[in-house]
Structures are given as C-alpha cells and as structure tokens.
Chain A
Amino acid sequence: MMASIWDKTTETGLDRPTVIEADDVWKTFKVYKERNPSLKETLLRGRSAYDTFWALKGVSFAVKEGSTLGLIGENGSGKSTMLKILAKILRPKRGSVRIDGKVSALLELGAGFHPDLTGREIVFLNGSILGLTKSEIAAKLDQIISFSELDKFIDTPVKNYSSGMYVRLGFAVAINVEPDVLLIDEILAVGDESFQRKCLNKLYDLKEQGKTIVVVSHALESVRSICDEAVWLEHGEMRAEGSARGVVETYLEEVNRREEAKSGQKSRDEEEFGTRWGSGEVKITGVRVLDGGGKKRRLFKTGETLIVEMDYEAKEEIRRPVFGIAIHARDGVHINGTNTKFSKTVFDKIKGNGTVKYIIEALPLLKGNYVLSTVVYDFACLHAYDHHDRRYLFNVSSGDLNDYGIFYLPCAWELKSGREKK
C-alpha cells in the first residue's frame, strides 16, 4: 500500500556490537510533601518529608550499533526518565547503563542558555557541551546555520528568538555534530511541519550512516517507521520489547482494548446510540467492525481493510432483502451510502440466522471519527425491516499521509513548463 520512505529499515544484523546496554535499571523520585528544603527545617526535623515514587522498575534492553530503538508508552510511563538516564543526566537508583561512543542528546530543548548570547555563540557553546572542539564546530557552522534556517538571525541575541527558532537551532546542532549515538525526546515536537519533515529526513540519513538512535515518542506512526526495535514501558515496567512494528501493534491493541473497557459503559451505550426503527421481520442482531485479519477494531489507518459484519435473524422467509450501509462523519456529513441492490448483489431469500459481510478493501477515509448505519430493507427499499441509524463508531488515523480533508485520493503530479515570455 502507501509506501513510506522509512520502509527501507536496516536489517537487524546479529554480528554488530551492542553499543547501548541498560541492565536492570531502577529509578526513584522523591515526591516532596512540602517542597521547602531549608537549613532550619532540616536541622529541626531531619530530612524533609517525601514519598518515594518508582519511575522505573527494572528496565533492561540492548541496542546494537546502527539500529534505532523507540521507547513508547503513556505519559508518566518512565520513557523520558529512561532517556535521561541514558544521557547521564539522571543516575539510576539500581542497575547500570553503558553507552559506547559519542552521545548527543536532544531533550525538549528550550531555554537553558544565557539569553544575551547570540545564536552563533550558542552554537559554539552547545557544540562544546557535546564535546566538540572549536575548529570542529567551525567546520560545521555553515551546515548548522543553513539547517536551522536562521541565516539572518544567527548574530542576534537569542532572547529575541521565537521558541521555534530556538528549538530549531538546538536541533540543528545536536543532529549535525555527527554523534555515534543520538538520543531524542519527542522528535515531532520540533518546529513547524516542514522542519519536522527535514528532521525526519536527517534522522533517516543518520540511520543510513549506521548511527545508533534512541527515540522517545508519542507519534507511534513515526516510531513504527523509523525504529527497528521498540520497548513499551508502562508505569516504569517493560510491557513488551521486540520489533518496532510488533510492539507498536501490541501497544495500540492494548490502548484500544483499554479504551473500550474504560467505556464499558459506552459499549453498552452504543446499543442505544443513534436510533433504530423497522418492522422486525428481519433483525440485525449484531454488528462488528473488523480489520482485514478479522479482529474487532475501533481504530483504522487510511488504506487498511475494513470489514463490517452484520448478523441477522429472519423469523420468516424473506425474499430479496436489501442490506445497506451508510457512513457518516461524526460531525454529520453523509459520506457514502450503499446497499446490496446498488452493488448488484441480490440475495434471493434468507431465513434463520446468518451474517452479511461488507468489505472495504482499502479504506480511503482520512483522519477523523466516523459512524455507521446498518440497515435491511425490502427490495423496493421502501419498507424498513430494521434500520440502525448512525449507531456504530470507528476512528481513522491518516498514518503517514499528510493529506487533509475526508478522503484520500491517489494522485500524481506532472510539470509542463512553458516557454518563458520575453
């Protein structure tokens, strides 16, 4: 289907050396009941009162040279803490971490440097933090400046920068210093759309060059496409590790399942969602939204297969019934309506129980929330046996696509340049 430029993931070689190793890492944080550590209080009461919060509980993984690891999980799962431990910013309570080679970390850069310094001075300061000498930085200066797109402002004090400019500068340095190991927190939080693209392309280059990268991200699609492997953390524990695709799938399934469980109320509510009418000679007794593999799903990606199964029960013999489906956007737009008659599929007669399958080979819908109507009518389409109006929900994510709107329309572009007018 939609080929992504990331599809060329490097094969996982067995012979390459392990460059990052986290061995049974535990980390606690103090949660102060009263954050006011002053000498007087400490003298009077001993250490100030705090609770211990375990941010990481025995996390282990290894990354081979040249491969890319994604750390995924919900907010507060400990993934950023893990990254900070890898970057030596935090020290693990127990366990150890080892990284071979020059490490460059990019952690939600924002403020940090003195606002009176110019962009150029920041580049040198930042570069030397990453362990480069003056001449090494000078050699890469042009590259860094052009990458950050700050040519005009490079000699302006950074206090006059916008936050986006600041982040671009930080990213430009971190990514252009040619580290052996690159640690990145939330890549997609960087700059505008086009800069993000540029960063992703640069990451891809680094990957091609055989650099080792660890990424923390909520953007599961980019994790799936950039990373070779992934680790899923939950409340500081490892829930899954392995191939990025596999781990992201498992994670998504779990999130969906949990969402459904959380709204267990809602799934019952779904029965009451929308309206239903009809004479009831045939009843639609169950509706399932499934993926190509036949698994129940709520979230689909543009281009995936979507199947709707309708169980019916006909108390008497019904001749030439018409089964129909309609898709609406949640905001009300009627996107499509079709039925077996329109599709020239005629079921001669039905009696008893059965299932009708409606298959969309490649879902053309873009990101959004949608709702299904399922109906069964007589052949004239005048008499409703059973009509479930806008009762079944499903969501779509656009995946790698940037298109906006409701539909994905495959297209091609051509350029025919005319002669210049004199």
Chain B
Amino acid sequence: MVDQLKSLFKYKELLLNFAKKELKVKYKNSVLGFFWSLLNPILMMIVFTVLFTVSPLRVAAKGIDNFPIFFLAGLLPWNFFNATVVGSTTSIVGNGALIKKVYFPRELLPISIAVANLVNFALELLVLIVFVLGSGLFLTRFLGFYKFLPILLVLLPILFVFTLGVSLMAASLNVYFRDIQHIIGIILMVLFYSTPIIYKFNPGMFGKFGIIYMLNPMADIVLSFKSILYGNADNVLAVPNWHYMAYSAAAASIMFLLGYIVFIRLEPDFAEEV
C-alpha cells in the first residue's frame, strides 16, 4: 500500500487535471463560474437568516443564537463529505470508457473528486469565516478565531482522510454491487440526522447511548468544526473537545486504511467489471 501511495506521486499532474476537470465541468456554461462557490454560502446565509430569524419558522431555532452560522458551521463540512461520497460512488462505474482504455491508478478518480470538493469547501469556508468574524464583537471574534485557526488545519485533514476512506470503499464496492449507488443517499440521510448539524447537541440527550452516538466520526468532526466556527453553547469560540479530535483522527485513519485496502484488492479487475 505504501508503494501504491508512492506511485501516486508520479501522477500528481493527472490528479490535478482530473480535479480541474471536475471543477470545470461543474461550472461549465455558467456565467459566474467558480464564483458560485463563494455565492452559495452567501445565499444560504441569507436564506437561513430570513427563515430562522425573521419568518415564523424562527421558533424552530429558538435558544440558538446566530442560528445561520450555527447551521452553516456544521453544514459546510457535511456537504463536503456528502458530495464527495456521492460523487465517488459512481466515479469508477461512470468512467468505464476511460478505465477500459488506459491505465492510471484508479484511485485518482475518487481522490480527484475529494480534491475538487475540497477547493470548493475551502472557498465556502472563507465566506463563512467572514460571517463568523462579523457575527459578534469583531475584536473578540478575531482574537478567538486567530487562536483556533491552527486547529482548523488539523481538522480539515481529518475530515478529508475520513471522507476519502468512505469514498474509496463506496467507489470500489459499487463496481460489484450497483445497489450501493441507490442506497447511499438513504444511508447519508440517516447519517445526516445522526450528526449534530441542524440541532444542538447536548451530551445528555441520548442518555446511555451518547457514547454510541459519538462513535459516528462525522459527529465528532462536525462538533469540532462548530467549536471553532460557532463556539460553545454560549456562542463563544472555543477549543474543540480533545476527545472528539483524537477519536475522529483515529477513526479517519482506520477508515482510510480499510477503504484503501478494499479498493486495492478490487482495483485490478475494474476494467472487466465496469
């Protein structure tokens, strides 16, 4: 596996080209192009603000200050995960014509989707950070954020590696069981509600099952993102719980190993099965 990873390095040009292709195709024929990556979170912010602070729906967000930021702080990392897993699941099957004709390390397909989505996510995150800085007393926000910024640089790789592990596994298994591409949406929906994105997580709310709840690495990852971008229950930016970070880092590594091993085992026969 180490050799395989090393040989990937030779193909970094192709990886970048694949990722660029993903982005290009995504914004092809749109007037604003990649500005959509910036515009999307702004529009979401506006919609959420209208929905949850002005409209009668605001009762749903009762007790959560700055609900739009609260929501986006969890939604954006989730969207990265979601889009990458969904995109990767069909990445091998959908590129059958290419796979049958030329050799390149097949994992470049899901990885390039993750990279393209990461670029997108980074742009969205920049917009969110601007909102975060503007959502309270600027100086306190700025100092708080400045302090926690390095943690973000740990958190992003954890999210990336975990997402990649799931994606590699889904992409390779889908070659043999096309059912996966149909069921993946439902699984992701269950996972979405098992992750504290739209609602406020409170350690006591699941009683004895709290531990099981936290076994979902996305729960740990999203809570950590929220600590930095939204803050604790009082909307004060805070250091994430180290348990969450440590657990999600371990879970991400295991998931990646598992996903990559499955992928490598199945990869040599992709050209026959797609």
CB of B11 within 8 A of chain A? yes
Q: A193 near B: Cβ within 8 Å? A: no
CB distance from B170 to the nearest CB of A (A): 13
Complex Cα distance, B25 from A117, in Å, reads: 8
Assuming the contacts A91-B269, A128-B13, asked whether A108 and B24 have C-beta atoms less than 8 A apart, the reply is no
Given A37-B178, A38-B177, A91-B268, the answer on whether A109 and B17 have CB atoms closer than 8 Å is: no
B103 CB within 8 Å of chain A: yes
Size bracket, chain A contacts: 35 or more
Closest to B13 in A: A128
B111 to A: closest C-beta gap in Å:
14
- The B interface is mostly helix, strand or loop, or mixed, namely helix
* Interface status of B35 (Cβ within 8 A of chain A): no
Given contacts A84-B271, A117-B25, A124-B17, contact A112 B11 (CB under 8 A): no
User: Given A30, A39, A87, A110, which contacts B103 in the complex, CB threshold below 8 Å?
Assistant: A87
Contact pick for A107, options B28, B102, B179, CB 8 Å: B102
Query: With a CB–CB cut-off of 8 A, which chain A residues contact B268?
Result: 90-91
Which chain B residues border A105 with CB–CB below 8 Å? 101-103
User: Which residues of the partner chain B approach A112 to less than 8 Å between Cβ atoms?
Assistant: 95, 97-98, 101-102
Chain B residues lying within 8 Å of A133, measured Cβ to Cβ, are: 13
**B97 and A37 within 8 A (CB):** no
CB distance from B3 to the nearest CB of A (A): 15
Query: Which residues from B are CB-within-8-Å of A37?
Result: 176-178
Known: A39-B179, A121-B24. A89 touches B271 (CB 8 A): yes
Q: Which of B1-32 contact A (CB under 8 A)?
A: 10-11, 13-14, 16-18, 21, 24-25, 28-29
Task: Tell me, yes or no, whether B100 is within 8 Å of chain A by CB.
Answer: yes
Q: Please name the residue on chain A nearest to B177 by beta carbon.
A: A39
Chain A nearest CB from B33 CB (Å) reads 13
The reply to whether the CB of A347 lies closer than 8 angstroms to some CB of chain B is no
Bitwise, A128-164 to B at CB < 8 A (1) or not (0) is 1111111000000000000000000000000000000
- Chain A, residues 84-117, CB within 8 Å of chain B (1/0): the string is 1001111100000000000101011111111011
Check B13 against A132 for contact (C-beta < 8 Å): yes
Contacting residue for A87 out of B17, B98, B102, B272, CB 8 A: B102
**Residue A125, interface by CB 8 Å:** yes
Contact B102 A114 (CB under 8 A): no
Determine the chain B residues whose CB is within 8 A of the CB of A129 once the complex forms: 14, 102, 104
Measured CB to CB, the closest approach of chain A to B4, in angstroms, equals: 13
Q: Could you tell me the distance between the alpha carbons of A85 and B24 in the complex, rounded to whole angstroms?
A: 32
Q: State whether the Cβ of A277 lies closer than 8 Å to any Cβ in chain B.
A: no
- The digit string for A21-46, where 1 denotes a CB below 8 A from any CB of B, is 00000000110000001111010000
* A71, B140: Cα distance in complex, Å: 73
Q: How far is the CB of B28 from the nearest CB of chain A, in Å?
A: 5
Which residues of B have CB within 8 Å of A42? 177
Contacts A116-B25, A116-B28, A121-B21 given; does A108 touch B272 at CB 8 Å = no
Shortest Cβ distance from B103 into A: residue: A88
Inter-chain contacts of A130 with B (CB < 8 A): 102
Q: Which residues of B contact A103 (CB under 8 A)?
A: 103
| Bound CA span A37–B273, Å | 10
Interface residues of B in 115-163 (CB under 8 A from A): none
Contact between A107 and B13 (Cβ–Cβ < 8 Å)? Answer: no
Known contacts A37-B178, A39-B177, A84-B271; decide if A89 and B17 are in contact (CB<8 Å): no
User: When chains A and B are docked, how far (Å) is the Cα of A316 from the Cα of B179?
Assistant: 87
Assess the B101–A107 pair: CB atoms within 8 A. yes
Structural contact, B102 and A117, CB atoms closer than 8 A? no
**Nearest chain-B residue to A90 (Cβ)?**
B271
Alpha-carbon distance between A113 and B20 when the two chains are bound, in angstroms: 13
How many Å lie between the Cα of A132 and that of B14 in the bound state? 8
A123 vs chain B, min Cβ distance (A): 11
Specify the chain B residue showing the minimal Cβ separation from A135. Answer: B13
- B14 in contact with A128 (CB, 8 Å): yes
Least CB separation from A157: chain B residue:
B28
Residues of A within 8 A of B17 (CB): 124-125, 128
Tell me the residues in window 49-108 of chain B with beta carbons closer than 8 Å to chain A beta carbons: 95, 97-104
Question: Which residues from A are CB-within-8-Å of B176?
Answer: 37
A127 to chain B, nearest CB (A): 8
- Considering the complex, give the chain A residue whose CB is closest to the CB of B18: A125
Instruction: List the B side residues contacting A117 at CB < 8 Å.
Output: 21, 24-25
Give Cα A248 to B104, complex, Å: 34
In the complex, 12 of the A-B residue pairs with CB atoms within 8 angstroms, ordered by the A residue number, are: A37-B178, A89-B99, A89-B102, A89-B271, A110-B97, A112-B97, A114-B25, A117-B24, A121-B21, A121-B24, A125-B14, A129-B104
**15 more A-B residue pairs beyond the given contacts A125-B18, A128-B14, A131-B10, with a C-beta to C-beta distance below 8 A:** A38-B177, A88-B103, A90-B271, A91-B268, A105-B101, A105-B102, A107-B102, A112-B97, A112-B98, A114-B25, A116-B24, A121-B24, A128-B11, A129-B104, A132-B13
List of 6 A-B pairs having minimum Cβ-Cβ separation, nearest first: A91-B268, A39-B179, A128-B14, A88-B103, A128-B13, A112-B98
